[in-house]
Amino acid sequence: MNTPVDYIIVGFGLAGLTFTEQLRKNNKSFIVISSLEKSSSIVAGGMYNPVILKRFTLAWEASGHLKTALPFYKELETYLQKSFLIPLPLYRILNSIEEQNNWHIATDKPSLSPYLDTQLIENKNKNITANYKFGVVTQSGRLKVKSLIQHYVKKLKQTKQFIAENFDYTALNHTTNSINYKNYTAKHLIFCEGFGMKNNPYFNYLPLKPSKGETITIVAPELNLEAIVKSGVFILPTAKKNEYLVGATYNWTDETWDATTTGKEQLQQKLEKFIICPYTIVKQAAGIRPTVKDRRPLLGQHPKHPNIYVLNGLGTRGVMVAPTVSKQLYDFIAFKKPLNTEIDIKRFL
């Protein structure tokens, strides 16, 4: 006898986790099937920051995304009895008088003023080289994504709602009314596979592009940094004393998940342009961000199989974007609320 559930979710990175959370809050029954390897979320720095620091502009829908994301993760902290959100100011090293002026101009814009401090900060850290001042982004910080995923998986395993395996597409049978997969019968199937979607026969027609990213974790006892600093790369304090995450690289052609010497060297080169104290590399990690050519998420219903859906394309800002778009997909399925055309996969039909 098959176990009936409302939903089967395939993939448990930020996309799968945030969608699962919609189901939990709406008292829906579900089973999650996911490998935890080849996960972009697990290696992500977890930074949230509403501002594009190259051009001093607001990221796509950043105000709304941030307003949804922070309470969403706070609720998860309560549910899982663990802290995952670390608010941290973000210091952007300004490289010229012109950049300082541009920062001031940006702070005057109504869309940016809630996030950019008007006061530029003088560098007082002797281990950081900054010839001009710092511009400070407020309302930024870090989500401990790996820890969040691990704790959520643990909880799901306790209730037997998590199966750690690769989804076998050949074991899937479906009609317009029901989905059958191994011992489960469901009303809806949601694929949240990140870059793994490339192997999914239902959705591999969608234009997902690889954006491989690498990070290094360093220990730098003399650095004494309590903020995120951004120059060519970000450096973020982790939860451990004297430990920092440095990232990330961008490679648009490499589709392998392994960390590389080139990636490490690139990060070190950029880091050493603004950090002058000794450090030791204790870890290196790599992942593939699921990005889309128009830089918008991929949400919606399969064009031929109405009970099969996709939630993907979170790109470089999964932490901020995922809570909003997973709710939009849930509302679309449960309440038939139309999806915004900007994110609906119908745009690629």
Ligand X SMILES: Cc1cc2nc3c(=O)[nH]c(=O)nc-3n(C[C@H](O)[C@H](O)[C@H](O)COP(=O)(O)OP(=O)(O)OC[C@H]3O[C@@H](n4cnc5c(N)ncnc54)[C@H](O)[C@@H]3O)c2cc1C
The answer to whether 12 contacts ligand X (rule: CB under 6 A) is yes
**DSSP assignment letter at 273:** T
The answer to whether 58 contacts ligand X (rule: CB under 6 A) is no
The answer to whether 172 contacts ligand X (rule: CB under 6 A) is no
Length of the chain: 349
Contact 268, 249 (CB under 8 A): no
| Cα(337)–Cα(325) distance, integer angstroms | 13
The answer to whether 287 contacts ligand X (rule: CB under 6 A) is yes
Exactly one of 61, 193, 243, 344 binds ligand X (CB under 6 A); that residue is 193
The answer to whether 248 contacts ligand X (rule: CB under 6 A) is yes
Q: Is 211 left (phi over 0), alpha (psi -120 to 50) or beta?
A: beta
Of the candidates 66, 15, 3, 340, which has an alpha carbon nearest to the alpha carbon of residue 203? 15
Q: Which stretch binds ligand X (CB under 6 A): 4-12, 78-86, 202-210, 334-342?
A: 4-12
Smallest gap from Cβ 169 to ligand X, in A, equals 7
The answer to whether 36 contacts ligand X (rule: CB under 6 A) is yes
Q: Which of residues 82-101 bind ligand X (CB under 6 A)?
A: none
* Amino acid of residue 278: P
Smallest gap from Cβ 208 to ligand X, in A, equals 10
| Cα(304)–Cα(25) distance, integer angstroms | 29
**DSSP assignment letter at 117:** -
Q: Which stretch binds ligand X (CB under 6 A): 29-37, 113-121, 131-139, 270-278?
A: 29-37
Per residue in 79-104, is it b (16+ CB within 10 Å) or e — as a string? ebeeebbbebbbbbbbeeeebeeebe
Exactly one of 318, 327, 328, 330 binds ligand X (CB under 6 A); that residue is 318
| Cα(89)–Cα(65) distance, integer angstroms | 18
* Amino acid of residue 178: S
Q: Which stretch binds ligand X (CB under 6 A): 1-9, 10-18, 173-181, 254-262?
A: 10-18
Exactly one of 56, 167, 244, 332 binds ligand X (CB under 6 A); that residue is 167
User: Judging by DSSP bridges, how do beta strands 228-230 and 141-143 pair with one another?
Assistant: unpaired
Exactly one of 20, 34, 139, 161 binds ligand X (CB under 6 A); that residue is 34
Smallest gap from Cβ 192 to ligand X, in A, equals 5
Alpha-carbon torsion (176, 180, 186, 188), positive or negative: negative
Smallest gap from Cβ 48 to ligand X, in A, equals 6
Q: What track of x and - describes contact with ligand X for positions 122 through 161 (by CB under 6 A)? A: ----------------------------------------
* Amino acid of residue 158: Q
Exactly one of 68, 139, 312, 326 binds ligand X (CB under 6 A); that residue is 312
User: Judging by DSSP bridges, how do beta strands 280-292 and 208-219 pair with one another?
Assistant: antiparallel
| Cα(343)–Cα(315) distance, integer angstroms | 13
User: Which H or E run contains 139?
Assistant: none
The answer to whether 216 contacts ligand X (rule: CB under 6 A) is no
Q: Which stretch binds ligand X (CB under 6 A): 122-130, 170-178, 259-267, 282-290?
A: 282-290
The answer to whether 314 contacts ligand X (rule: CB under 6 A) is yes
**Tokens read off for 214:** 């690498």
Interface contacts to ligand X, rule CB under 6 A = 10-16, 33-41, 43-47, 166-167, 192-196, 213-215, 247-248, 287, 289-290, 312, 314-320
